[in-house]
Amino acid sequence: MMNGSGTYRSSSSLSLEAKVASQLSVYLEETSVDSEFKVEPSADLSYLLELYIPQLLSHSYSEWERESLDGVFLTSARKTGLGTAELIGMCILISDQTVTPFFIRLVLASSRDSVASYQVLLGEPGGGRLGISGPPCKSPDAQRLLETVGTRLNNIRWSYATTSDTN
């Protein structure tokens, strides 16, 4: 990847945010506005979101400094505007291997090398250390959660919500 001075910079030296922006920009470049795109659980973007979502939440919630995600499964990934994506799905909480729903909106900077703004909604009242643990990740109830999160989105009482200051 080229940096601002025109020299090559290895992707390992990029920040997590820059890696997310880079991966997401590839999907958005290939997708027209108001269209969905597919992100497999094994995709680099899914892995990066496992790291990035807790990082964003930790800015507002100190308990997220000690929590991680062990999987991100998207039921919907949609390009909603130029450089903007909305991702809906469920994630696995690493602490107890249960699932909880999430919604994230990412707006890329015009240079596509960083995230200009974000909105993260995650978790609904449940059990566990964070009070958001849902069904065990390999259960039929977890599959039902994934299948219904998109239709329930506006009715979920989100336990965690954070946005960037530049929205």
pLDDT tens digits along 91-102: 999 999 999 999
Mean pLDDT value of segment 105-117: 95
**pLDDT exceeds cutoff 80 at 10:** no
The most distant pair of C-alpha atoms in the chain lies apart, rounded to whole Å, by: 51
For the cut 70, the answer to whether the pLDDT of residue 140 exceeds it is yes
- Report the candidate in 12, 52, 24, 51 with the shortest Cα–Cα distance to residue 112: 24
Distance CA 27, CA 72 (A): 17
pLDDT above 90 as % of the chain? 89
48 CB-near residues (< 8 Å, 6+ apart): 16, 19, 20, 23
What does the pLDDT look like over 24-35, one tens digit per residue? Answer: 999 999 999 999
Distance (Å, rounded) from C-alpha 145 to C-alpha 22? 29
pLDDT at residue 19 tops 90: yes
* Helices marked H in 13-162: 16-29, 44-58, 140-152
Report the pLDDT value the prediction gives residue 165, as an integer from 0 to 100: 65
The pTM of the whole model exceeds 0.75: yes
Average pLDDT score, the chain: 91
